[in-house]
Structure 1
Amino acid sequence: MRTSDEQELYPIAVLVDELKNEDTQLRLNAIRNLGTIAMALGPQRTRDELIPFLNDSISDDEILLAVADELADFTEYVGGPEYAHYILGPLEHLASIEEVLVRDKAVESLCKIGCVLSTSQTEHYFVPLIKRLTSGEWFTCRISAAGLYATAYPKCTSEQQEELRSLFTQLMQDETPMVRRSVAKTVADFVKQVSKDQLLNQILPMFIKLTNDDQDTVRLLTVEGLVKIAHMLSQEERKQYLLPILKSLGQDRSWKVRYMVASHFSEICEAFGDTVSREDMAALFLALIKDTEGEVKVMTIGQTPAFAKMIDEVIIVDKLLPCIKDLVLDTNQHVRAAVATHISGLAPILGKDLTIEYLLPLFLQLLKDDFPDVRLNIISKLQNVNQAIIEYIPLLASELGVAFFDEKLLSLCLSWLGDAVFSIRDAATTNLKQLVDIFGCEWAKNTIIPQVMKMSTNENYLYRMTTLFAFTTMGPSLTTDIIKESVLPTVLALVDDPIPNVRFNVAKSLEVLTPMLRQNEATNELVQSKVAPVLQKLNSDADGDVRWFAERALLTGKMTEKWGPFLFF
């Protein structure tokens, strides 16, 4: 039987015992129950006993990470926002340790707690904490400090704000690269809290130094800050202060920095405004798209459609498209794949005539590329032809009509059916169905279907498989007469194919085609006389997979009968 004193100490005692356990999961579970323990203790004892215990008694990094996470939501357990500053102590300790994940989580939790603090609490507890971390001997303290300024600043007096700006610029010049990197990462949030004059006179000069830092990991992190600062300045101020910085970063000696500029290019253009984009940004963009590093080129290519909307047609035709033309033949296959992915985005900007003149030759070149991803990226645009009515493919298929398509693209569409890569063959069969929907069944009967039928006699079984895939996919878009006269005989002829995969795909095709044939009396009789015997034969096949698919087709036939029992089953 415990005494009253022992009962009062019990929650802490349990926690101590559990944290001594060698099982990490049990220790983590104990930390996850901190809220329950705090509720048992009550706000006063949580402030007086549990918080100090957490501050002094734990050293395991994994457990510390869990503590940092739990403390973010501890305000209610200490008695509400008016006591939230009690939580700052252990979080300050966690923000100072060596383990990065723990520090980051502690800073995140400190910011969350900082948001509920009053002006007085910020002045008396949060700001002193930031100052201690900023002047800490260990660089880990100063790294964490950088992430707290934006949270505290709005709740400070003007005198404290002035001091915080001074301390922040002090961190921007810290001798440790990792501290400067942390400042470069957080400057975008901090500058939103200061006035324009304070930005121009106090923050910007130090920010410019960061953009010229000797560490590329610092310089690349200034790009996002550059975007945020641009939104705060006028057009002339952006040209005066930021454009030289941007040009320098875009031509940086480190490809990682140039990559970061490329990845934010459309955001940068929006922040700087259309005038600057047209007059000054085109040269930088063209330099990035012709960069010596493939990663930079790939990222820049992805920004091309968005950037093209911001510049005039003359620049696109005279400067951008020649670069794209060179990239279509780039030795880096990933660069060519990126072009294939994004080139269609230029079509709505250029319009029909310029698309035909400039993009069509590039489109055709990419379709012949040796790298499968390049071909697949192009062909995938045909898969969603109905959704992409204002993009590239409909300009070729719908607006230019059947004659143009037959002359320029039909042979290529058919060649995809024999591609060595399955995903391309699969995409090609889907495209055929959508082309039938665009050009009609009569066009399919005269152009596509005869070519697909020829593949059914190819020595390579993959071609015979593709025949079945194509007819199965196109079936719902064809008339029953076409299915009866051309498709069904071709499918049935493959019932004795020596390859089991071909035979069970015959069953799969018949499963799809049979309900279409049974929609009227004439073709329903064909099902009885032709399809039924074939499925029965496949249902007795030596191969188990063939029998399974045949049986499924038979069952489907029974379930889809509209006029009574499916007699031959």
Structure 2
Amino acid sequence: MAGTAGSGSSPLSAGGDGDDSLYPIAVLIDELRNEDVQLRLNSIKKLSTIALALGVERTRTELLPFLTDTIYDEDEVLLALAEQLGNFTGLVGGPDFAHCLLDSVRLLAVEACVSIAQLLSQDDVEVLVMPTLRQAAEDKSWRVRYMVADKFSELQKAVGPKITLNDLIPAFQNLLKDCEAEVRAAAAHKVKELCENLPSEDRETIIMNQILPYIKELVSDTNQHVKTALASVIMGLSTILGKENTIEHLLPLFLAQLKDECPEVRLNIISNLDCVNEVIGIRQLSQSLLPAIVELAEDAKWRVRLAIIEYMPLLAGQLGMEFFDEKLNSLCMAWLVDHVYAIREAATNNLMKLVQKFGTEWAQNTIVPKVLVMANDPNYLHRMTTLFCINALSEACGREITTKQMLPIVLKMAGDQVANVRFNVAKSLQKIGPLLDTDALQGEVKLVLQKLGQDEDMDVKYFAQEAISVLALA
């Protein structure tokens, strides 16, 4: 609740200066003490209006003490107040009076500390800002500690390297092992930024001795949000620490995260493999992390498999064609017959991206023959996947491969017993038609579509007639 300070504590109590033009400001000030939280929030958002009306001296001597004495409040109101005071420097008379603001909010003035510290000398920051920040980092309210963690990068830049090393690093260590998961997660998110912003000459030593031991603890944290937050940034440390440290100290952590029970943790590691590859090279990466990736590619949870598929073109580019064919090609083909449609669909799109990356000769020798064999699969879903692959691959493979290798298979499948396959034949012919020469279109393609246009199944008939229209074969 807002405090109930007496009327004498208000900056405009009893209209002391007799200025009726300040009456609206008096109303706003009264609302700061209203029982209604929303009214208090609205008034706080207009604090700059109140300060401008009062002038810099009365803002310093009346408004700020009034706020300090009156508002003992919910976190939401205190947060809004801290945000406002962060922009208040000019309203109290400029940087020379900035220290007044730190006395005006309880321990939730972290945001204000960032703004104020940027204006002060290092000595003034140490004397005027750091006591508030030290208290905030150890505050009994987890929301206060959370805010310190959330604003850590800004704080680090605002206070400078010396204070960072002496004060912020120990505070950060405490935040990384905070009893509240929300605080640990917020701090974990800032690990990479903190490390990047350290002085280059001491960076590696500080990280290895003062940050990494805490990161190792977080890898096995009991809370999945904490582990996910860390996994989203930890790979970036490899570029900061270099090859030797990455192989010795970070790879074991990455491997543990790749095997984490939480899918989001594994996902975050996979999606950032490229920055590790840049540091340690593909052979080392494949020996250490590839087995875990293969394991994920066959995971029981389809969303995990889907995530791996989506990163396969990226992996392919990193591994190179020969290595990819040796280690991962069979996985890509296996996904085409997955029991989950979303996996089969993603696997089809994946093949198209791989052909774009490795070229048509690779497609002709490695992919297309395996895809076309599926046209004879007993499972009609797998036969349909052949058509979906042809749709996706035709443009990337070009006219010759499409005409010579793919078209005969599509035409043959027009006689399939399953209507779903037949109408997908019509759709495939419409898709690949623009790539075919006139003879093929006016010959076999037209005959097959005309036959499908007389099919007993309404859907087959509809899609065949649509293809005839689109390809102008009527």
> Shorter-chain TM-score: what band?
0.7 to 0.9
For residue 214 of structure 1, give the secondary structure of its aligned residue in structure 2: coil
For residue 330 of structure 1, give the secondary structure of its aligned residue in structure 2: coil
What residue in structure 2 maps to residue 494 of structure 1?
413
1:455 aligned to 374, 389, 394, which one? 374
1:395 aligned to 299, 318, 324, which one? 318
CA contact (8 A) 1:95 1:106 kept: yes
What residue in structure 2 maps to residue 204 of structure 1?
130
CA contact (8 A) 2:99 2:128 kept: no
Which residue identity is paired with 2:469? Answer: L
1:528 and 1:370 map into 2 onto residues whose CA distance is 47
What residue in structure 1 maps to residue 109 of structure 2?
183
Q: How many residues get paired?
A: 448
CA contact (8 A) 1:328 1:365 kept: no
Kindly state the Cα deviation for residue 321 of structure 1 after the two structures are TM-superposed.
0.7
What residue in structure 1 maps to residue 6 of structure 2?
none
2:463 and 2:37 map into 1 onto residues whose CA distance is 56
Instruction: Establish whether residue 108 from structure 1 lines up as the match of residue 45 from structure 2.
Output: yes
For structure 2, the 5+ residue unaligned runs are 1-19
Alpha-carbon deviations, 1:28-72, whole Å to 9, x = none?
xxxxxxxxxxxxxxxxxxxxxxxxxxxxxxxxxxxxxxxxxxxxx
How is 1:133-144 mapped onto 2 (pairs within 5 angstroms)?
133-136=67-70, 139=73
Which residue identity is paired with 2:103? Answer: S
How is 1:67-466 mapped onto 2 (pairs within 5 angstroms)?
88-97=25-34, 100=37, 103-111=40-48, 113=49, 117=52, 121-124=55-58, 128-136=62-70, 139=73, 145-157=81-93, 161-168=98-105, 171-172=106-107, 182-184=108-110, 186-274=112-200, 275=203, 276-382=206-312, 385=313, 392-397=315-320, 401=321, 403-466=322-385
* Distance change in 2, residues 1:489/1:183 (3 Å): same
For residue 456 of structure 1, give the secondary structure of its aligned residue in structure 2: helix
Kindly state the Cα deviation for residue 291 of structure 1 after the two structures are TM-superposed.
1.9
1:442 and 1:146 map into 2 onto residues whose CA distance is 63
How is 1:499-538 mapped onto 2 (pairs within 5 angstroms)?
499-518=418-437, 524-538=438-452
TM-score (norm 2): 0.84
2:469 and 2:35 map into 1 onto residues whose CA distance is 66
For residue 349 of structure 1, give the secondary structure of its aligned residue in structure 2: helix
Kindly state the Cα deviation for residue 106 of structure 1 after the two structures are TM-superposed.
3.9
Which residue identity is paired with 1:108? Answer: K
For residue 390 of structure 2, give the secondary structure of its aligned residue in structure 1: helix
Kindly state the Cα deviation for residue 347 of structure 1 after the two structures are TM-superposed.
1.5
2:347 and 2:295 map into 1 onto residues whose CA distance is 17
1:462 and 1:114 map into 2 onto residues whose CA distance is 70
Alpha-carbon deviations, 1:516-538, whole Å to 9, x = none?
112xxxxx323222111221222
What residue in structure 1 maps to residue 463 of structure 2?
549
For residue 335 of structure 1, give the secondary structure of its aligned residue in structure 2: helix
In angstroms, what is the RMSD of aligned CA positions?
A: 3.0
1:502 and 1:226 map into 2 onto residues whose CA distance is 58
Which residue identity is paired with 1:536? Answer: Q
For residue 151 of structure 1, give the secondary structure of its aligned residue in structure 2: coil
Kindly state the Cα deviation for residue 394 of structure 1 after the two structures are TM-superposed.
0.9
Kindly state the Cα deviation for residue 323 of structure 1 after the two structures are TM-superposed.
1.6
1:316 and 1:350 map into 2 onto residues whose CA distance is 7
Alpha-carbon deviations, 1:343-387, whole Å to 9, x = none?
3442223223433333333332322222222222222123xx4xx
2:440 and 2:21 map into 1 onto residues whose CA distance is 81
What residue in structure 1 maps to residue 16 of structure 2?
none
CA contact (8 A) 1:185 1:225 kept: yes
For structure 1, the 5+ residue unaligned runs are 1-82, 173-181, 519-523, 559-565
Which residue identity is paired with 1:258? Answer: R
2:217 and 2:291 map into 1 onto residues whose CA distance is 24
1:482 and 1:161 map into 2 onto residues whose CA distance is 73
For residue 206 of structure 1, give the secondary structure of its aligned residue in structure 2: helix
Kindly state the Cα deviation for residue 138 of structure 1 after the two structures are TM-superposed.
5.2
CA contact (8 A) 1:476 1:516 kept: yes
Alpha-carbon deviations, 1:58-95, whole Å to 9, x = none?
xxxxxxxxxxxxxxxxxxxxxxxxx9977644444444
